[in-house]
């Protein structure tokens, strides 16, 4: 079985995440995509975040009905700072004897620019097949209160497509469609009572309303 990992805050998970996961399956031949909600990211401060249980539940509900997608709770279960290297080691053991090749690691171009600052980045790069995906982002210097701000030695911000070509580690580039959508924008639209209904999968939409997340109904 060929497995790839897509990690993130998923705050909330949106249709862009699912479209990216499906593209990895169809374009690169992966059998299963594991969506891994972060517990405590080492590289950013999570503003206006739903609780870990809510974020995991939204991911789980979004994955229902597609046997290629699965919610993986290991980082939430583990607690503490969530390091991708630890997650990959955990998954290698969990799927021992069932993996066909290395685990795929899906990264957006905004993360690729500072991958060298990640915990055990060299080992992580050698233990996985890195898949670089194009995505949109907010320009460097913009800082609305609802954006998750970088922390520590990370600068964050958007980066040009050239980063995908200059990435020094062994990788493959995914020619995925770039959807102009982000969790940050969705949270802002909910809070401002603007349209957001069709930016998230229906189970996520219904869960946000049910739980009154991100200021819904206030």
Residue 207: per-residue pLDDT: 98
Residue 52: per-residue pLDDT: 96
Instruction: Give the whole-angstrom CA distance, residue 33 versus residue 71.
Output: 9
Q: Is the dihedral of CA 130, 32, 79, 148 positive or negative?
A: positive
Residue 143: per-residue pLDDT: 38
Q: Which residues contact 18 (CB under 8 A, 6 or more apart)?
A: 62, 69, 201
Query: What are the CA-CA distances from residue 28 to residues 9, 23, 48, 156 (Å)?
Result: 24, 8, 35, 28
Contact 158, 137 (CB under 8 A): yes
pLDDT of the chain along its 218 residues, tens only? 999 999 999 999 999 999 999 999 999 999 999 999 999 988 777 667 899 999 999 999 999 989 999 999 999 999 999 999 999 999 999 999 999 999 999 999 888 888 999 999 999 999 999 999 987 543 333 334 444 444 444 444 444 554 455 788 999 999 998 898 999 999 999 999 999 999 999 999 999 999 999 999 98
Q: Which CATH architecture has domain 3-182?
A: 3-Layer(aba) Sandwich (3.40)
Instruction: Give the whole-angstrom CA distance, residue 112 versus residue 133.
Output: 9
Q: Which residues pair with 103 in a beta bridge?
A: 128
Q: Which sequence spans correspond to the domains of the chain?
A: 3-182
Only one residue has tokens 């939430």, namely 76
Cβ–Cβ contacts within 10 Å for residue 183, how many? 24
Backbone angles phi, psi at 176, to 5 degrees: -85, 150
How do beta strands 103-108 and 44-45 pair? Answer: unpaired
Instruction: Give the whole-angstrom CA distance, residue 22 versus residue 13.
Output: 14
Closest Cα to residue 151, out of 76, 49, 53, 47?
47
Instruction: Give the whole-angstrom CA distance, residue 7 versus residue 124.
Output: 14
């Amino acid at each position: 079985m060929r497995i790839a990992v897509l990690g993130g805050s998923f705050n909330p998970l949106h249709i862009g995440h699912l479209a990216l996961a499906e593209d990895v399956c169809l374009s690169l031949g992966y059998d299963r995509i594991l969506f891994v909600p972060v517990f405590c990211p080492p590289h950013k401060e999570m503003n206006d975040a739903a609780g870990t249980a809510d974020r995991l539940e939204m991911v789980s509900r979004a994955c229902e009905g597609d046997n290629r997608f699965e919610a993986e709770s290991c980082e939430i279960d583990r607690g503490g700072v969530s390091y991708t290297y630890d997650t990959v080691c955990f998954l290698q053991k969990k799927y021992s004897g069932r993996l066909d090749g290395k685990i795929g690691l899906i990264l957006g171009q905004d993360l690729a620019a500072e991958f060298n600052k990640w915990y055990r980045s060299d080992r992580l790069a050698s233990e996985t097949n890195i898949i670089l995906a194009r995505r949109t982002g907010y320009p460097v210097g913009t800082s609305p209160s609802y954006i998750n701000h970088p922390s520590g030695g990370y600068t964050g911000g958007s980066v040009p497509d050239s980063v995908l070509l200059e990435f020094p580690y062994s990788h493959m580039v995914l020619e995925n469609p770039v959807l102009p959508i982000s969790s940050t924008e969705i949270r802002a639209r909910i809070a401002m009572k603007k349209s957001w209904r069709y930016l998230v999968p229906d189970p996520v939409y219904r869960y946000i309303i049910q739980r009154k997340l991100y200021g819904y109904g206030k």
